[in-house]
Amino acid sequence: MAAAKIVFGYASGAISILSDGFHSLTDAASNVVGLVGIHAAGQPPDEDHPYGHRKYETVAAGALTVFLLLLFVEVLRNASNHLSGRTAPHAITAASFVVMLITVGVNLFVVRYESREAARLGSEVLMADAVQTRGDVWSSLTVIGALAGVRLGWPILDPLAALVVAGFIGWSGYQIATTTTRILSDRVVIAESDLQHVVLSVPGVLGCHQIRTRGTSDHVFLDLHVWLPPDMHLLDAHALSHVVKDRLIARYPQIADAIIHIEPPPVG
């Protein structure tokens, strides 16, 4: 789809088609990054990476953000050239509409399929991509409307549609940048109060504090301190800590590992 739109964009001189083509190209690159990231994330921990390889996906997504920024600037520059009258579309044919309508149809199928599979598998990656692809549908419909306007004698709609596409590209880049920054800065993944509620539901636990989470939404590392009776036997305390861990993972399956520090409650 990206190749078809880029070819027709250059052939017709329609910056809106060309911009939407590069938008589709970035979506394809995003999917490739996701596939590579999933493959890398699936590698087991080793001596050099005891926490696994999940952040390779995050680093790749960060690189994609830079690419989106460059594309955003280029689309704005081309749209500006068209608005200033230096260039204008010259061959808006029926084939251009056919290509755009086909891409809309394919994207609608992708949105429906990914949404269904995301619900079945509980996959945030698929759901996020379905949302992004839904944005592509609106982007393409905007371009189709602009092409119709050009055919009716309003060439200004072509660069204006390109600006709309640039907005979609910029929004995608912002979302990816926000997500990667949150992961790389070890922002809280699961609310402390929610985890505390689960821990305190275990009989024998007197309290907990210093609850910390980091990682991605589907692969979380957790550590916390649990207060147990000071006279409890070490073996019993150790067993109880495993009960706490099992209950946390049962409630939040995305927890990949939980480190529990046992200590007596604070005096006073």
Residues linked to residue 107 through DSSP beta bridges, in sequence order: none
* Domain 192-263, CATH: 3.30.70.1350
> Residue 257 is encoded by which pair of tokens?
């590992």
| Nearest in space to 19 (alpha carbons), one of 88, 64, 76 | 76
Q: How far apart are CA 31 and CA 268, in angstroms?
A: 55
Q: What are the start-end ranges of the H helices in 204-233?
A: none
Strands 207-216 and 255-263 come out as unpaired
Contacts of 140 (CB under 8 A, 6+ apart): 20, 100, 103, 104, 107
Q: What are the start-end ranges of the H helices in the chain?
A: 2-12, 15-41, 55-83, 94-121, 124-151, 157-184, 192-200, 234-251
Distance of CA 202 to the CA centre of its chain: 35
Q: How far apart are CA 217 and CA 220, in angstroms?
A: 6
Shared fold status for 2-184 and 192-263: no
pLDDT of the chain, 268 residues: tens digit per residue:
888 888 877 877 777 788 888 878 877 877 787 777 777 777 888 888 888 777 777 777 777 777 778 778 877 877 777 676 655 555 677 777 888 888 889 889 988 998 888 778 766 566 767 777 777 788 788 888 888 887 787 878 878 888 888 888 788 778 778 877 888 888 899 999 999 999 999 999 999 999 999 988 778 999 999 999 999 999 999 999 999 999 999 999 989 899 999 999 987 6
Residues linked to residue 224 through DSSP beta bridges, in sequence order: 260
Domain 2-184 fold is: Alpha-lytic protease prodomain-like (1.20.1510)
Q: How far apart are CA 156 and CA 159, in angstroms?
A: 6
Q: Are 132 and 61 in contact (CB under 8 A)?
A: no
Strand order in the sheet with 207-216: 207-216, 219-227, 255-263
Rounded to two decimals, the pTM is 0.68
pLDDT at 165: 80
Q: How far apart are CA 16 and CA 222, in angstroms?
A: 47
Domain boundaries of the chain, sorted by first residue: 2-184, 192-263
Q: Assign 3-class secondary structure to 103-150.
A: HHHHHHHHHHHHHHHHHHHCCHHHHHHHHHHHHHHHHHHHHHHHHHHH
What phi and psi values does residue 225 have, to the nearest 5 degrees?
-105, 130
First-to-last alpha carbon distance for the chain, in angstroms, is 68
> Residue 87 is encoded by which pair of tokens?
């260039």
Around Cβ 241, how many Cβ atoms within 10 Å? 19
